[in-house]
Amino acid sequence: MSPRVPAPVRTALAVLVPAALAAPSGVGAAPYRQPVNGDVVVTAYFDHGGVRDWACTDWTYGGHRGTDIAIIGRFAAQDEGRDITAAQAGRVTRTHDGEFDRCTTADCAGGNGFGNYVYVEHADGHVTIYAHMRQGSVRVAEGQQVGCGDVIGQVGSSGYSTGPHCHFEVRVGGNADDPFSGQCGGPLSYWVAQGDHRGLPTRDCAGGEPPPPPPPPPPPERPDIHLALSFEPPGDAPRACDFDDCRDFVRDGTSGGLFDAWLGETFSVHVVVSNQGNGTTQGESPEDSAITLQYELPAGLAPVGYDIQTDWPAKDRASWQPNDAMQNPANPPADAPPGAGELRLNGFSPGESKRVTLRVRATESSVASGAHRPVRAWIKHLRGYYGEKTGWDDPAEVNDGQTYNGGDLKAGGELDVFDPTAFLFESPDAAMVEGWRRCAPDAVAGFTVNPADHALSSEIVGPGPCIEGPRVAVPLAGFAGLRLVARQHQTRRSGRVHWTTETEPDFSDARSVEFHTDGGGLFDELHLAMPWDRGATLTRLRLLPVADAGSGNPWFDVAEIRLTADAPAPPPPGPAGADSGSGDPGAGGAGPYPPGVPDPDDGVPPPPGADTDGGSLFTGEPTPGALPDPAAGADYAGGCIASGQSPRPPAALIGMLFFGLHLRRRRAPSGRRPRPARQV
């Protein structure tokens, strides 16, 4: 318990309840805190008779039954609000509110002179009364428990009052008592610490606990900018997906985790800039307040438009609305942004995010070279917080309020662009199988890119071998043929190419053509007429079976699988007895041969020039970077080698000799593009 200050005499009560006075601990529980917050002064004490306060001075007036605590500033302070708190924990027993609170005459009606008031009964049965409160300020109800220091109302001047103050009165056994002890007062002080005469009792609650601390001052206002970049697949034409995440439909090798796009496809790059600070980016002028974003698209991605949106007022990074930054004359036309440039995003409110959406079209495939394409964006400038950063690798001066990414406001994303009509296996990375996979894992053991021969190599170890490509969505209107560059190491073998379409999703011999490889470890360039429905959309290709398990060299290699615009041309006259070429009957033929039936008249390769590339799938434009028709014999690979991963053997020389004899069927896998080092 806190000390009670002994006093020599306590008048009336000393006569009425001497036992209580003899045992202070029996009189009360916790003592009181000074109940009014803010700048205050005591203007009148309890009158012990004869206009005499507890210290034997006249700082009271006749018959005053409480302690008047006035606020400095009078009605102006009252209008600002000065809180009255419970002097001690207890239960609210009476309240009254609604009375006029600007009384200056000491005789305003209401509340029996107390105006607006609150009574609190404490554990020891004592009651404290807080009177003359501000109209409408009573914020506790009868029966409510309050703690010491809890706000119960505000200072006013209601009832018999001449100015804003709190009349604080203590009732013991129904009689008013003076909480101060002194020579002319009682023997006990009810205060935690009553202080000097005309000073103030402490505002600390009993037990030494300070009153609730004031809330900390708000931190200084400043912006805190964050940046994120992401890709979004096209929404207008739903993309066919093998996996849950359409953004990463080829996960081989280092393609895993990258956004994948098809050649010719238009998709979106989102750059979200967020102000997660508590201040605006507002400067002295609109120019000062603007965030400038810079971006960079790689070659092979053509911008076709952009939007700037804001999530204001929701600030949820989801409710995107057009932003007036689109009208900023410094920005490029909405339908013709450059491949690299600046965008003015204007100012940001606290919590506001803006989303830049760049719509881009993939104009070059990158997988054959194994090079990923980075898309980059960074904040160039934000006055006072972020210095001039004009290049991705440039350092920037960063205000210490800037936290994102160590203060470096840049974000990038990598993507692979695949051509769904042309699968080449030129990567030096053995895992870069371009989305192909084994559909009969028991029959195909090894499955890898052979970098020496630029081929996808399958090791056949059981019956029913099968490999299949990734799911695609290729309208077949522009494609009549398939070029297949493949080899195996036995004697002549037949295989089949199967396909599925969106309307016929199951593999069936009814949708297949036969092909032959002559074996001996030499690549055959096969031109297959494809009797598929030209109105359909191709969804997948399969190759099966293509080599023998258990033979001396069970590897089957595919260097190229490419849709072609034209069916094979009619066979030119060839020398009798020449080794037959490859390919199945031409367009308009009787359709696929039944499995296992020897083809009596293998097709022949088309004349030079007929072997056209498919062109850009989605636009009909030529495919940039498409392979040239390979020069005869160029980069020839041949010979029976023991493994799909062996380096090119001396047998290549033998292959060159064979080439002359087998001109019509012996081709290099394809022309070669330079293979730049992989960027990761």
Name the site residues for Zn ion (rule: CB under 5 A).
Answer: 66, 68, 167
For residue 313, is the peptide bond before it cis, meaning its omega torsion is within 30 degrees of 0? yes
Q: CB of residue 289 vs Zn ion: minimum separation in angstroms?
A: 56
Q: CB of residue 64 vs Zn ion: minimum separation in angstroms?
A: 6
Q: CB of residue 86 vs Zn ion: minimum separation in angstroms?
A: 18
DSSP letter at 542?
A: E
Tokens of 520: 């001996």
Which C-beta is closer to Zn ion: that of 66 or that of 603?
Answer: 66
Q: CB of residue 66 vs Zn ion: minimum separation in angstroms?
A: 5
Which C-beta is closer to Zn ion: that of 169 or that of 453?
Answer: 169
Which C-beta is closer to Zn ion: that of 101 or that of 204?
Answer: 101
162 burial type by CB count under 10 A (0-12 exposed, 13-18 middle, 19+ buried)? middle
330 burial type by CB count under 10 A (0-12 exposed, 13-18 middle, 19+ buried)? exposed
C-beta separation of 623 from 361 below 8 A: no
Q: CB of residue 8 vs Zn ion: minimum separation in angstroms?
A: 26
Which C-beta is closer to Zn ion: that of 27 or that of 131?
Answer: 131
Which C-beta is closer to Zn ion: that of 67 or that of 310?
Answer: 67
C-beta separation of 581 from 515 below 8 A: no
Which residue, 551, 618, 632, is CA-closest to 362?
Answer: 618
Q: CB of residue 277 vs Zn ion: minimum separation in angstroms?
A: 50
Which C-beta is closer to Zn ion: that of 68 or that of 260?
Answer: 68
664 burial type by CB count under 10 A (0-12 exposed, 13-18 middle, 19+ buried)? buried
CB atoms within 10 A of CB 427: 24
Which C-beta is closer to Zn ion: that of 167 or that of 359?
Answer: 167
| β-bridge mates for residue 413, sequence order | 375
CA dihedral 478, 480, 485, 489 (to 10 degrees): 150
Which C-beta is closer to Zn ion: that of 118 or that of 538?
Answer: 118
60: Cβ contacts below 8 Å, ≥ 6 apart:
44, 45, 46, 47, 51, 52, 53
Which C-beta is closer to Zn ion: that of 190 or that of 447?
Answer: 190
DSSP letters, 571-628, are PPP--TTPPP------TTSS-PPPTT---TT---PPPTT-S-----TTT-SPPTTPPP
Q: CB of residue 351 vs Zn ion: minimum separation in angstroms?
A: 49
Which C-beta is closer to Zn ion: that of 66 or that of 201?
Answer: 66
Q: CB of residue 37 vs Zn ion: minimum separation in angstroms?
A: 18
User: Rounded to whole angstroms, how far apart are CA atoms 392 and 113?
Assistant: 76
140: Cβ contacts below 8 Å, ≥ 6 apart:
92, 95, 118, 146, 150, 152, 153
Q: CB of residue 178 vs Zn ion: minimum separation in angstroms?
A: 12
By beta-carbon distance, which residue lies closest to Zn ion? 167
Q: CB of residue 26 vs Zn ion: minimum separation in angstroms?
A: 29
C-beta separation of 519 from 552 below 8 A: no
Handedness of CA 540, 545, 550, 551 (dihedral sign): negative
DSSP tally for the chain: helices H, then strands E: 6, 32
At residue 541, what are phi and psi to the nearest 5 degrees?
A: -120, 150
Q: CB of residue 19 vs Zn ion: minimum separation in angstroms?
A: 30
Which C-beta is closer to Zn ion: that of 42 or that of 343?
Answer: 42
Relative to beta strand 410-418, strand 259-262 is: parallel
Which C-beta is closer to Zn ion: that of 22 or that of 106?
Answer: 106
User: Rounded to whole angstroms, how far apart are CA atoms 632 and 616?
Assistant: 25
112: Cβ contacts below 8 Å, ≥ 6 apart:
159
Q: CB of residue 311 vs Zn ion: minimum separation in angstroms?
A: 56
How many residues make up the chain in this entry?
680
Q: CB of residue 59 vs Zn ion: minimum separation in angstroms?
A: 12
Indicate the SS3 state at residue 478.
helix
DSSP letter at 325?
A: G
Q: CB of residue 44 vs Zn ion: minimum separation in angstroms?
A: 6
Which C-beta is closer to Zn ion: that of 38 or that of 279?
Answer: 38
Q: CB of residue 65 vs Zn ion: minimum separation in angstroms?
A: 7
Tokens of 372: 């990923």
At residue 548, what are phi and psi to the nearest 5 degrees?
A: -105, 135
User: CA 432, 482, 447 angle in degrees (round to 5)?
Assistant: 30
State in Å, rounded, how far the first CA of the chain is from the last one. 71
Tokens of 498: 């199967």
Which C-beta is closer to Zn ion: that of 65 or that of 673?
Answer: 65
Q: CB of residue 129 vs Zn ion: minimum separation in angstroms?
A: 10
Which C-beta is closer to Zn ion: that of 69 or that of 497?
Answer: 69
Which C-beta is closer to Zn ion: that of 47 or that of 459?
Answer: 47
Between the alpha carbon of residue 623 and those of residues 575, 614, 616, 620, the distances in Å are 36, 8, 5, 8
